[in-house]
Structure 1
Amino acid sequence: MTDGTWVTLISLGVTVLFMAGVPVFLVIAYWVIGCSFVLGMTLDNIGAALSDVFTDGFALLAMPLFILTGDLINKSGIARRLSDFAYSCLGWMRGGLAMASIGACGLFAAISGSNSATTATIGSMLHPEMVKGGYDERFSAATAAAGGTVGIIIPPSIIFIVYGFLMNLPISDLFVAGIIPGAMMVIGMQFACWIICRINGWGHLIQLQLGRVLKTAFGAWLGFFAIGLVLWGIYTGKFSPTEAAGVTVGFCIIVGVISLPLYRIMGSMDPNRPIAEKGYSEMLVVEGFKLTEIPAITMRSAQITGILAPLIAVSVVMQQILSLLGAQQVIGDFVTGMGGYHAVLFTAMAIVFVSGMILESLPVTIILAPILAPIAASVGIDPIHFSVIFLVGASIGFVTPPYGLNLYVASGVTGVPYFRLLKFIVPYLVALISVWVIVALTPELATALLPNR
């Protein structure tokens, strides 16, 4: 049999394994190993490639710190304060708590810069509250997964840094370009959430009160400060995104340790009571932690990193094999042959969407950005605008089966099986794709905040 036949058979075999419930990391690893034998690549080459990813991968250097930041924000009470503020603003509407969780994802993304950390933190914190509030547990988990997609669009974003490095674009411009599209993604998902909750009658309503909004806003000032700290440090060049994550980790540790005595003095929040039934004073309470708890928090972050990092690493090796198979050349010729501006634009979007269904955003960016971005520029698409189009599409892949990394993360932190989430992710996919098309057809949404544009 020819090499192409063997690759096809291997691909079908790992697809069967995936459908049987084999972890996606093993599925991709089996495909990589099988194709390596077919193409005459040694396993030493795979080991060397994996080693290079972990030792030289710029984006991965920041990932453990961003994930740790998310866990510390959760334990220190900052995430809950941000969530309480969002709920005080939206709780008067049907589905207000679910909409607030999406809003909290947007606020959290502005600190962590990670889709998986956003999903894990907000999902683990608000999923139990939503279930107690009468929401379907599958919908609650799907909401956390969908909200996490903005983690790589709202700045700071590791993927924007990788994209800017690959395509020689100003990182600060890419960050600014992601602000409006990221906000639109949040609003679009909240609208879809409101429709679904209104149809099903989910969620307890609370009265919109200016006092509640102001008090929760005051209680969330540490969260707003953390957001401002990250953005100020990166935009002014005071520190790199990796250093920003380290600074934020230190800030969250200080807040968490100081908050614990305050938490004990003010009285604890009853975890069995829905947020809608809590008074102002309870909503302002922080949780905090002891210094002796930091190793356990770090271990939890390390466990999540241990799940994600090998998956990303194997996906990067997968890119090498796809390149040897000639996939990059085929894609370039196909897109170039489509013709004009809109044909190239929508063809590129379709390729990113399909790739996001089976690969993580980092390999998608590494493989496709150097191919598609020059083609897009050749037909007149603004490079900054295309970067936003590309990465919004890659973010949608986080909730698109069969890969859907956020779906796996949400399943892990909520205990809801992966395949039970799929039905309830569809409305969010519709909302995200609609926003994506609007952003693609309206360059001003990405460039309006940029100087000299």
Structure 2
Amino acid sequence: MTDATWITLISLGVTGLFMLGVPVFLVIAYWVIGCSFVLGMTLDNIGAALSDVFTDGFALLAMPLFILTGDLINRSGIARRLSDFAYSCLGWLRGGLGMASIGACGLFAAISGSNSATTATIGAMLHPEMVKGGYDPRFSAATAAAGGTVGIIVPPSIIFIVYGYMMNLPISDLFVAGIVPGAMMVAAMQAVCWAVCRRNGWGHLIALQPARVLKTALGAWLGFFAIGLVLWGIYTGKFSPTEAAGVTVGFCLIIGLVCAPLHRFMGAPGHDRPVTEKRVRDMLTVEGFGALEIPSITMRSAQITGILAPLIAVSVVMQQILSLLGAQEVIGNFVTGMGGYHAVLFTAMAIVFVAGMILESLPVTIVLAPILAPIAQSVGVDPIHFAVIFLVGASIGFITPPYGLNLYVASSVTGIAYFHLLKYATLYLVALLAVWIAVALTPELASMLLPVR
């Protein structure tokens, strides 16, 4: 048999494994190993590529650190405080709790940088509260899934780190460029939530009380400080994204360890605390965590990193094989054959959208970004602008069937069947597509906050 026949058979075989639920890392690894044998490439090449990624990828060090940050703030109770603040601001509107859950997703994403972690954390916390508040359980679960899509757009973003590393772009610029599009995604989804809840009469209204807003804002000050620390440091150039991740982890560790005993003392049974002191405790402390909990928190973060890092490494070899097979040239000729600036841009967006329907954002980025980004740049699309366009499209894939990872995560944490979420998830999908098109047509949305150089 010819090499083309062997590669076709290998591709069909790994596609079957993917459909059976085999992890994406193993699917890509099997394809890479099989094609390497067919093309006469030694396995030493795979080992060298893996070694280069793990030893030379300083920027990738930010990835496990931001994953750890998300776990630390979740265990310390900061995520709940951010949710309380969002509800105090929006609870006076119809659907305020649903809108608050989307806002909380944006705030949590600004520290954790993860899509699925955002959906899992906010969904687990607020889905029961939304159901108690009279919301349709399917709608509340779909809201958590949709809100989580901003996890890879609002900085710091794990996928921005990967994209910047692969395409040799400044990660700090990518972070800043994602702020406005991320805020637009949150606002668009909140508008959908408000419209649906207003039509159905869902949610209990609470009065807008400045004192309540101030109290919850003070209670969430640690979360705001962590967000501000990351953005200030990166925007001003005080430290790199990798250094920012390390600083944030250190901050969260100190806060968690200090606040745990303080919270237990202030709220210890047997102490007759006056009301004013209880308010001080509620505003200025979080639950924290003990030193003995750190290994389990770190282990969970390491497990997630252990899934992502090898996938990045093996996908580098996949790019080499695709280049040898001429895939980049074929796709490039197809896209450039569409015409000028807008035709190429929207063709690239269509490819990303279709890929996002069946793959998670990481493999979509690893496989397609090196192919599409140079083509877009050749017709005049700014590299930072295209990065934002590409990754907003990849984030939309998190609620796009049949894959829709966030839908599976929301289904898992809420107990609502996957297919029951699709009706309301589609409404959010339409809103996100509108934002995506606006971002593509308006480069200033990605560049307006970038420092002038």
Common topology (TM > 0.5): yes
Partner of 2:245: 245
The answer (yes or no) to whether the contact 1:315–1:360 under 8 Å persists in 2 is: no
Matches within 5 A, 1:187-198: 187-198=187-198
Partner of 2:260: 260
Aligned in 2, Cα 1:449/1:233: closer, same or farther, shift over 3 Å? closer
- Residues in 2 aligned to 1:438 and 1:305: alpha-carbon distance in whole angstroms: 33
- 1:14 Cα deviation from its structure 2 partner: 3.9
Moved more, 38-47 or 376-385: 38-47
CA shift digits 1:388-424 (9 cap, x unpaired): 2122122223333454444455455556565655454
- 1:328 Cα deviation from its structure 2 partner: 0.8
Matches within 5 A, 1:299-310: 299-310=299-310
Moved more, 434-443 or 404-413: 404-413
Moved more, 46-55 or 291-300: 46-55
- 1:311 Cα deviation from its structure 2 partner: 4.0
| Equivalent pairs, count | 443
- Residues in 1 aligned to 2:365 and 2:19: alpha-carbon distance in whole angstroms: 26
- Residues in 2 aligned to 1:10 and 1:134: alpha-carbon distance in whole angstroms: 51
Partner of 2:101: 101
Letter in 2 for 1:289: F
- 1:377 Cα deviation from its structure 2 partner: 3.3
- Residues in 2 aligned to 1:199 and 1:12: alpha-carbon distance in whole angstroms: 47
Moved more, 439-448 or 313-322: 313-322
Letter in 2 for 1:263: H
- Residues in 1 aligned to 2:402 and 2:315: alpha-carbon distance in whole angstroms: 15
The answer (yes or no) to whether the contact 1:94–1:202 under 8 Å persists in 2 is: yes
Partner of 2:385: 385
- Residues in 1 aligned to 2:198 and 2:281: alpha-carbon distance in whole angstroms: 28
Partner of 1:110: 110
1:153 maps to 2:156: no
Moved more, 162-171 or 345-354: 162-171
CA-based RMSD of the aligned residues comes to 3.2
1:160 aligned counterpart, secondary structure: helix
CA shift digits 1:102-158 (9 cap, x unpaired): 211211222223334333433343344334444455544443333232223222334
Partner of 2:122: 122
- Residues in 1 aligned to 2:448 and 2:251: alpha-carbon distance in whole angstroms: 33
- Residues in 2 aligned to 1:422 and 1:12: alpha-carbon distance in whole angstroms: 29
1:203 aligned counterpart, secondary structure: coil
The answer (yes or no) to whether the contact 1:157–1:175 under 8 Å persists in 2 is: yes
Partner of 1:272: none
Partner of 1:296: 296
The answer (yes or no) to whether the contact 2:172–2:240 under 8 Å persists in 1 is: no
- Residues in 2 aligned to 1:35 and 1:413: alpha-carbon distance in whole angstroms: 38
Partner of 1:276: none
Aligned in 2, Cα 1:221/1:124: closer, same or farther, shift over 3 Å? same
1:339 aligned counterpart, secondary structure: coil
Unaligned runs of 5+ residues in structure 2 are 269-277
- Residues in 2 aligned to 1:213 and 1:411: alpha-carbon distance in whole angstroms: 31
Partner of 2:396: 396
- 1:81 Cα deviation from its structure 2 partner: 1.0
Moved more, 201-210 or 434-443: 201-210
The answer (yes or no) to whether the contact 1:106–1:154 under 8 Å persists in 2 is: yes
CA shift digits 1:63-93 (9 cap, x unpaired): 2211111111112221111111001111223
Unaligned runs of 5+ residues in structure 1 are 269-278
- 1:200 Cα deviation from its structure 2 partner: 4.8
Aligned in 2, Cα 1:376/1:44: closer, same or farther, shift over 3 Å? closer
Aligned in 2, Cα 1:169/1:345: closer, same or farther, shift over 3 Å? same
- 1:280 Cα deviation from its structure 2 partner: 7.9
The answer (yes or no) to whether the contact 1:109–1:115 under 8 Å persists in 2 is: yes
- 1:346 Cα deviation from its structure 2 partner: 0.6
Moved more, 292-301 or 40-49: 40-49
- 1:190 Cα deviation from its structure 2 partner: 1.6
Letter in 2 for 1:385: H
Aligned in 2, Cα 1:243/1:124: closer, same or farther, shift over 3 Å? farther
CA shift digits 1:325-379 (9 cap, x unpaired): 3211111111211112211111121122223334444444444444433433333
The answer (yes or no) to whether the contact 2:154–2:175 under 8 Å persists in 1 is: yes
Matches within 5 A, 1:269-284: 284=283
1:322 maps to 2:322: yes
Letter in 1 for 2:286: V
- Residues in 1 aligned to 2:260 and 2:212: alpha-carbon distance in whole angstroms: 23
Aligned in 2, Cα 1:117/1:169: closer, same or farther, shift over 3 Å? same
1:224 maps to 2:220: no
- Residues in 2 aligned to 1:97 and 1:283: alpha-carbon distance in whole angstroms: 21
CA shift digits 1:283-303 (9 cap, x unpaired): 746222211221122222223
Letter in 1 for 2:339: G
The answer (yes or no) to whether the contact 1:146–1:425 under 8 Å persists in 2 is: yes
- 1:252 Cα deviation from its structure 2 partner: 1.2
Partner of 2:179: 179
- 1:438 Cα deviation from its structure 2 partner: 0.9
- Residues in 1 aligned to 2:403 and 2:35: alpha-carbon distance in whole angstroms: 20
- Residues in 1 aligned to 2:54 and 2:421: alpha-carbon distance in whole angstroms: 31
1:347 aligned counterpart, secondary structure: helix
- Residues in 2 aligned to 1:400 and 1:446: alpha-carbon distance in whole angstroms: 24
1:443 maps to 2:443: yes
Moved more, 434-443 or 128-137: 128-137
- Residues in 2 aligned to 1:108 and 1:256: alpha-carbon distance in whole angstroms: 16
Letter in 2 for 1:63: M
The answer (yes or no) to whether the contact 2:70–2:113 under 8 Å persists in 1 is: no
- Residues in 2 aligned to 1:423 and 1:445: alpha-carbon distance in whole angstroms: 30
